[in-house]
Amino acid sequence: MDHFLYQDGALHAEGVPIADIAAAVGTPFYVYSTATLTRHFTLFDDALDWGDHLVCFAMKSLSNQAVIKVLADAGAGMDVVSVGEYLRAKAAGVPCDRIVFSGVGKTAAEMRTALEGGIRQFNVESEPEMIVLDSVAQSLGLVAPITVRVNPDVDAKTHAKIATGKSENKFGIPISRARDVYAMAAKMPGLKVIGIDVHIGSQLTELAPFEAAYKKVAELTEQLRADGHEISRLDLGGGLGIPYTRSNEAPPLPTEYGGLIQRTVGHLGCEIEIEPGRLISGNAGLLVSKVIYVKSGEDRDFLIIDGAMNDLIRPAMYEAWHDIIPVVEPAPGLTPAKYDIVGPICESGDTFAKAREMPPVAADDLVAFRSAGAYGAVMSSEYNSRPLIPEVLVDGDQFAVIRPRPTYEEMIARDTLPEWLK
């Protein structure tokens, strides 16, 4: 559920009319609901109430400072995948013992910054990374707490670009080699093994792949303990999917997911970490755009809007579906129109939807993309020299710009001319 509803015929974000934000900020923009963010975090937190746990928000899904602060204030940890995200988390006031560092390509410089600044754990993804982390930690006279990310070779049954748990993916070490790798880690004075990490993919709409992966992790925990390792923490990754369309079958709820975790690994007495991104941020955000033209084509009408693939790349990159609704509530019983909904960018890929049925709209009307909070603003760019899309946060009946749209002058001034061209 979210907090974007029609009230008196106008779409609101919590208590704020979307049209008011559009008038103040211009279009396109992202708007996030504080209540939805905290509600989704709390659902996960409550679902793991049966034991020691930390819910680490996957910052890569939405990394604005204000959003991070909302979640950190609610008690969330952060899962970061670059030193940039690490520094963002710290800047938003997240305590370093609540920051987990994931990712296949951590550099020595990134490791150094995180070790010096403090970190809850590194999720190590390969032997070469382990060797570098050991030497960086030793050079600083520190010991790096680690889990090893294992690849359980399960099919997440999701889009190929966001599946990470099959043996052909670049992530983690094969679970079959885990015992050797843990033995190697245990001999490294700069590392302290504390647990196991797994993350099999994103936008999973069934629990079975999680169950298969977590059973393998439980087995591995017992083997590693028998080998003499102290396994006290299990990081079970993120990936629980969200409904992108109302007609979709409903993905499992965080409570069911929490129950599955308890059933599969609860008996091991480990502290549980999870790293949800999309399920916390996805339905907490809308992308709001304005219709520029309605253009009649040979066999279809085109809705040309002022948002484009540089603002929201998911449809172009993952064939993703977003519900697109008018900001003025349509009259009941209206015959739907059928549109190809496109942005102004000079690429056919700049298409949000084909032959989409929706209530008829006209030039200058506002439309909202639902479920756009995750992997939206964070993937935006200035392609076609379209200034970076702004972000807005709503809390009750107040709203604030949390990332302003640069002016054209600011955008252009970021480039600098070399001396010889001046």
Ligand X SMILES: *Cc1c(COP(=O)(O)O)cnc(C)c1O
> Where along the sequence are the contacts to ligand X (CB under 6 A)?
58, 60-61, 79, 81, 102, 199, 202-203, 237-239, 275-279, 374
The structure tokens listed for 370 are 């639902």
Closest separation in Å from C-beta 221 to ligand X: 19
Residue 285 CB, nearest distance to ligand X (Å)? 13
- How far is the C-alpha of 15 from the C-alpha of 359, rounded, in Å? 24
To the query of whether residue 96 is one of the catalytic residues in this protein, the response is no
Residue nearest to ligand X (CB): 277
User: How near is the Cβ of 93 to ligand X at its closest, in Å?
Assistant: 21
Q: Closest distance between ligand X and the C-beta of residue 199, in Å?
A: 4
Contact 121, 100 (CB under 8 A): yes
* Residue 402: count of CB within 10 angstroms of its CB: 18
Instruction: Give the tokens for residue 86.
Output: 């690490």
Query: Residue 42 burial (CB < 10 Å; 0-12/13-18/19+)?
Result: middle
Which residue is catalytic, options 56, 96, 270, 346? 346
Q: Are 266 and 218 in contact (CB under 8 A)?
A: no
- What is the closest distance, in whole angstroms, from the C-beta atom of residue 58 to ligand X in the complex? 3
Q: How far apart are CA 177 and CA 284, in angstroms?
A: 39
Contact predicate 366/399, CB 8 Å: no
DSSP letters of 273-304? Answer: EE---HHHHGGGEEEEEEEEEEEE-SSSEEEE
- Closer CB to ligand X, residue 170 or residue 263? 170
Q: Which is nearer to ligand X, 260 or 342 (CB)?
A: 260
Nearest residue (CB) to ligand X, 64 versus 289 = 64
Q: Which is nearer to ligand X, 241 or 390 (CB)?
A: 241
Q: Using an 8 Å Cβ cutoff, are 323 and 370 in contact? A: yes
145/277 with CB nearer ligand X: 277
Query: Any idea which residues carry the catalytic annotation?
Result: 346
